[in-house]
Amino acid sequence: MSTWANLGLQDSSSPLMEQLIFFHDHALMILVMITVLVGYLMFTLFFNKYVNRYLLHGQTIEIIWTILPAIILLFIAFPSLRLLYLLDEINEPSVTLKAIGHQWYWSYEYSDFNNVEFDSYMIPTNELPVDGFRLLDVDNRVVLPMNSQIRILVTAADVIHSWTVPALGVKVDGTPGRLNQTNFLINRPGLFYGQCSEICGANHSFMPIVIESIPVNYFIKWISKNNS
Q: How confident is the model at residue 150 (pLDDT cuts 50, 70, 90)?
A: very high
Mean pLDDT value of segment 16-21: 93
**More reliable by pLDDT, 89 or 180:** 180
Fold of the domain spanning 93-225: Immunoglobulin-like (2.60.40)
Euclidean distance between CA atoms 65 and 209, whole angstroms: 47
CA geometry: angle at 12 spanning 119 and 149, to 5°?
Answer: 60
Fold of the domain spanning 13-86: Helix Hairpins (1.10.287)
Question: Sign of dihedral through CA atoms 94, 20, 180, 139?
Answer: positive
Q: Tell me the pTM.
A: 0.84
The string of pLDDT tens digits covering residues 83-100 is 999 888 888 889 999 999
Euclidean distance between CA atoms 24 and 21, whole angstroms: 5
Q: For the chain, give the mean pLDDT.
A: 90
Per CATH, 13-86 and 93-225 having the same topology is answered no
**Quick check: 213 and 186 in contact, CB under 8 A?**
yes
**More reliable by pLDDT, 13 or 115:** 13
pLDDT of 177 strictly over 80: yes
Euclidean distance between CA atoms 5 and 215, whole angstroms: 31
pLDDT of 157 strictly over 80: yes
Q: How confident is the model at residue 37 (pLDDT cuts 50, 70, 90)?
A: very high
Residues written for the chain? 228
Cβ-based neighbours of 50, under 8 Å, separated by 6 or more: none
The string of pLDDT tens digits covering residues 39-83 is 999 999 898 888 877 777 778 888 998 999 999 999 999 999 999
pLDDT > 70 in the chain, percent? 100
- The pLDDT score that the predictor gives to residue 92 is 87
Mean pLDDT value of segment 121-131: 90
Q: How confident is the model at residue 213 (pLDDT cuts 50, 70, 90)?
A: very high
Domain chopping of the chain, boundaries: 13-86, 93-225
- The pLDDT score that the predictor gives to residue 228 is 63
pLDDT > 90 in the chain, percent? 67
Asked if omega into 65 is within 30° of 0 (cis), the reply is no
- The pLDDT score that the predictor gives to residue 91 is 82
